[in-house]
Amino acid sequence: MPGRTPATFSVGDVGGHGVDPGQRKERVWQLPPGDVTVSCGVISDAGTRVASSASLSIVDPNGYYVPDALDCSNIVGMSPEYAEGWLGYQGDPVEAAHVLLTGLLADDVVERAGYPESSEPIVRIVRDGAVVGRVRLFSDQQGGWLLGALDRCDEPGISFGWGDEATKPFPRGWFEWCPAPPFSEPGPRWRERASAAAVRFVEASTADDDRAVSELLDPSVPPGTEFPEVVIAEGTQPVVGGADARGSPLVDFGCGRDVDAYTVAVTIDDGTESASADFTVFLVLRADGWKVWGVY
């Protein structure tokens, strides 16, 4: 917006910007579909005067936008403070929210909101069908994500907040335990063999075959551990959707790079069309075969 005098512009009620004479600035807002008014103003000694405005209609014919508005009237907002050079979570923004937020319940749905390709991700928390929390993430400029502004419903039982997970010793984040070395080298057929063990584990879990499950579990898993419920669509068989030679950023963050280097992550297709319902089985190779140490 070049010109001879300082100017401002604002977009609806979501924000604005100032521009000095001769400057050009670009700013992107995640605006939901609908109508919005864009206003331009001129700054002088007498104050700011609106010079012009225009009404725009934002359309989303492909339905990319996921609403992030909270389903409540009383909202609490907060923002964390980070020391200079603070490192974020390296991985998917939704995983980052899972790991770094406190106050989540097992049945909460944590999912991406806004527009999927946004450089400033928004993640919403859905509880019992209602959006009760929303967090904005920003880059630490080193490949990781930091939690930014958090809004949550001011209601009993809703207490999302910030964890100090990034400074805790292992295990941390999603994991409550980590497998202990030494580990065996995966070998040339690691993908096929690890995937087969993951499928056997899922089949044994869905059949409540405790003996088979016990034989497939790694010794690092504490006795009596209950994994997240494994659900496969009726009439279907679990299908391996992918196997990674390293676990994932979740494993790296939760148990460290040494564990991640020997962990194979096998994604299981639950037989439905929803990718978010799929789950991942984490395995390491021991002397007597591939063993499951985690499910996510």
The candidate with the shortest Cα–Cα distance to 161, out of 224, 204, 100, 238, is 100
Which residue(s) pair with 151 in the sheet? 77, 134
- Dihedral of the alpha carbons of 253, 105, 126, 170, in degrees to the nearest 10: 0
The candidate with the shortest Cα–Cα distance to 16, out of 44, 34, 41, is 41
Q: Phi first, then psi: what are they for 126, rounded to 5°? A: -110, 125
Which tens digits make up the pLDDT trace of 108-165? 999 999 998 888 899 999 999 999 999 999 988 888 898 888 999 999 999 888 876 6
Which tens digits make up the pLDDT trace of 183-234? 999 888 899 999 999 999 988 988 889 999 999 999 999 988 887 766 666 6
Instruction: Print the SS3 string covering the chain.
Output: CCCCCCEEEEECCCEEEEECCCCCCCCCCCCCCEEEEEEEEEEECCEEEEEEEEEEEECCCCCCCECCCCCCCCEEEECCCCCCCCCCECCCHHHHHHHHEECCCCCCEEEEEECCCCCCCEEEEEECCEEEEEEEEEECCCCCEEEEEEEEECCCCCCCEECCHHHCCCCCCCCCCCCCCCCCCCCCCHHHHHHHHHHHHHHHHHCCCHHHHHHHECCCCCCCCCCCCCCCCCCCCCEEEEEECCCCHHHHHHHCHHHHHHCEEEEEECCCCCHHHCEEEEEEEECCEEEEEEEC
Which tens digits make up the pLDDT trace of 88-120? 888 889 989 988 888 899 899 999 999 988 888
175 vs 7, higher pLDDT? 175
pLDDT range class, residue 2, cuts 50, 70, 90: very low
Give residue limits of the domains in the chain.
7-58, 75-167, 190-295
Residue that the structure tokens 């928390």 belong to: 125
Please answer whether residues 283 and 291 qualify as being in contact, where contact means their C-beta atoms are separated by less than 8 angstroms: yes
Which tens digits make up the pLDDT trace of 10-55? 777 666 666 666 666 676 777 888 888 887 776 655 545 556 778 8
What tokens appear for 159 in the block?
Answer: 């207490």
What is the C-alpha to C-alpha distance for residues 104 and 98, in angstroms, rounded to an integer? 8
Residue that the structure tokens 């295990």 belong to: 171
